[in-house]
Structure 1
Amino acid sequence: MLITCPKCGTKARIATSRTISAETRELYCQCLNLNCGKVMVSHICFSHFVEQTGQKPNPELQPELCKDLDQLDIFDEIEKAQENDHKGSLDRLPRTPVTSTLTNTCV
């Protein structure tokens, strides 16, 4: 995410952040311009969903989302629930935990 300094307009880094609410974070930023070096606080918040499809990711278009097959099982359960209840109620879904392995790699 690119943060710019409101004083000089150059890049700023996010030094740390804290949760304000489920939809808002407070960012503590520092300007990377050595002649400026201002420290600032910014807020980022959730606005809205762009598109809510609830469809399985396409393995050809999004292979990284299809690596963990346990995560894809939820889509099968949603489809079954929608077939059983035309209103699309998710109340009857089994409450089984979904486990996955997250990896963080730097390029």
Structure 2
Amino acid sequence: MRVTCPHCGSKATITSRENIADNVSDLYVSCTNVKECGATFVSSLAFKHYLNPPRGDVARLAAGVLKNLPKPMQIELLDRSQL
């Protein structure tokens, strides 16, 4: 993850992190351009959403849906998946 200084645009370094809540953290950051800027600041980092859910979650969801279908439909779907 690349962090840049909001003042001068130089590369910045995360010096520490404080967890605020599940999936939300405050990042304490220092600008590496110490001669001309030297700013220190706090940025937030938060999980927003999945682009691709974890494979295990998808497999469990599919198994749950499959279990609730009538047997003939389960067999038909499983036969199609082997094409």
TM normalised by structure 1 equals 0.52
Larger RCO, structures 1/2 (Cα 8 Å, 6+ apart): 2
Equivalent in the alignment of 1:47: 48
- Taking only aligned residues, the RMSD between alpha carbons, in angstroms, comes to 2.3
Equivalent in the alignment of 1:12: 12
Say which structure is richer in helix: 2
For 1:52 and 1:39, locate their aligned partners in 2 and report how far apart those are by CA, in whole Å: 35
For 2:27 and 2:54, locate their aligned partners in 1 and report how far apart those are by CA, in whole Å: 30
Deviation per residue, 1:27-85 (Å, 9 max, x gap): 0000000220100000010000011252xxxxxxxxxxxxxxxxxxxx6xx67xx38x6
Say which structure is richer in strand: 2
For 2:51 and 2:30, locate their aligned partners in 1 and report how far apart those are by CA, in whole Å: 30
Equivalent in the alignment of 1:26: 26
Gaps of 5+ in 1: 55-74, 88-107
Distance 1:43 1:53, change over 3 A: closer
Gaps of 5+ in 2: 69-83
Deviation per residue, 1:67-107 (Å, 9 max, x gap): xxxxxxxx6xx67xx38x625xxxxxxxxxxxxxxxxxxxx
DSSP-derived class of the 2:67 partner: coil
Counterpart of 2:44, as a letter, is H
Overall identity of the aligned pairs, in %: 32
Runs of 4+ in 1 over 4 A off after TM superposition: none
What is the number of equivalent residue pairs in this alignment?
A: 63
